Amino acid sequence: MAEPLPFAVLISGRGSNMLALAEAAADGRIAGRLVIVISDRADAAGLDAARRLGIAAEVVAPVAGQDRAAFGRALTNFIEASGARLVVLAGFMRILDGEFVRHWQGRLLNIHPSLLPAWRGLHTHRRVLAAGDRWHGCTVHFVTEELDAGPAVIQGRLEVLPGDDEVSLSARVQRFEHIIYPRAVGWFAAGRLTCEDGMASLDGQPLSQAIVEEAQ
C-alpha cells in the first residue's frame, strides 16, 4: 500500500474543520497523515486542540516589516520542512500571495462557506440571509491567485429555512463542511483528485462543475 499522504492544515481560529480532517485521517477515510497544524494567530483555539491529539501545532505569524511575499516564503519553508505534500486551508484568515499559491498550485485546497461562485469573501451567511437566497452551503476548491475563485471540487447544498439566523445557518453549513472537506481530502490522498491547468479532475474526469451533495 502507498504511504499515507503527509498534509498540513492552516487555521486562524477554532479549527473544527481541522479536527474533522484529523479524525478522518485517524480512522482511515483519508489515506493521509496530518503532520502539522499551522496558525497565523497564537490564540487560535485549534492549536491546543491539535496538540491534545498529539499533532504538531505551530504559530507562523508575519514579523514586523515582513511583506506578504516574504511571509508566504517563510510559510512555504515551514510547510516543506514538515514534509507535507498537500496544504489544506481551514479558516486561515489571511490572503496568500501569488508566489505561495503558485508554489502549491494543485496541492492547495480551501473551504469556503458559500455555494461559489456566489458570495465570495466574508460574512457569507449574513449576505445570504439579507439577499433572501433559498439555497446556501459550502464549497471545497483548489486555490488559485484569484480569491475564492479556483476550480470547485465539491459543494454541500442546503435550504435556508424560515426563521434561520446567522447562528443557525452557519452551524448547519459547518456540519456540512465537516463532511465534504474530509471527502475531498480523501480523494486527493487516494490520488483520485487532481488539478492541472486550472481544471480539477476526479478519477480522470474533468469536473466542469462541482459535485453537489444535498443535506439529508
- What residues are annotated to the active site? 112
Cα Rg of the chain, angstroms: 17
Q: How many residues bind ligand GRF (CB under 6 A)?
A: 16
Q: Which residue is nearest to ligand GRF (CB)?
A: 91
**Is the separation of the CB atoms in 138 and 152 below 8 Å?**
no
Q: Give the binding range for ligand GRF (CB under 6 A) out of 7-15, 22-30, 183-191, 198-206.
A: 7-15
Q: How far is the CB of 111 from ligand GRF (least distance, A)?
A: 5
Q: Which residue's CB is nearer to ligand GRF, number 70 or number 211?
A: 211
- φ, ψ of residue 52 to 5 degrees: the values are -60, -25
Q: Give the binding range for ligand GRF (CB under 6 A) out of 14-22, 129-137, 143-151, 155-163.
A: 14-22
Cell of 159: 435550504
Percent helix / strand / coil, the chain, rounded to 5: 35, 25, 40
**Is the separation of the CB atoms in 62 and 41 below 8 Å?**
no
Q: How far is the CB of 45 from ligand GRF (least distance, A)?
A: 8
Interface residues for ligand GRF in 45-104 (CB under 6 A)? 46, 90-91
Question: Strands 152-159 and 135-142: what pairing?
Answer: antiparallel
Q: Which residue's CB is nearer to ligand GRF, number 164 or number 177?
A: 177
210 touching ligand GRF, by CB under 6 A: no
Residues 1-34 as b or e (16 or more Cβ within 10 Å = b): eeeebbbbbbbbbebbbbbbbbebbeeebbbbbb
39 touching ligand GRF, by CB under 6 A: no
Residue window 180-199: x/- pattern of binding to ligand GRF, with contact defined by CB under 6 A: --------------------
CA atoms within 13 A on the CB side of 143: 24
Q: Using CB under 6 A as the criterion, which residues of the chain lie in contact with ligand GRF when the complex forms?
A: 11, 13-18, 46, 90-91, 111-113, 138, 174, 177
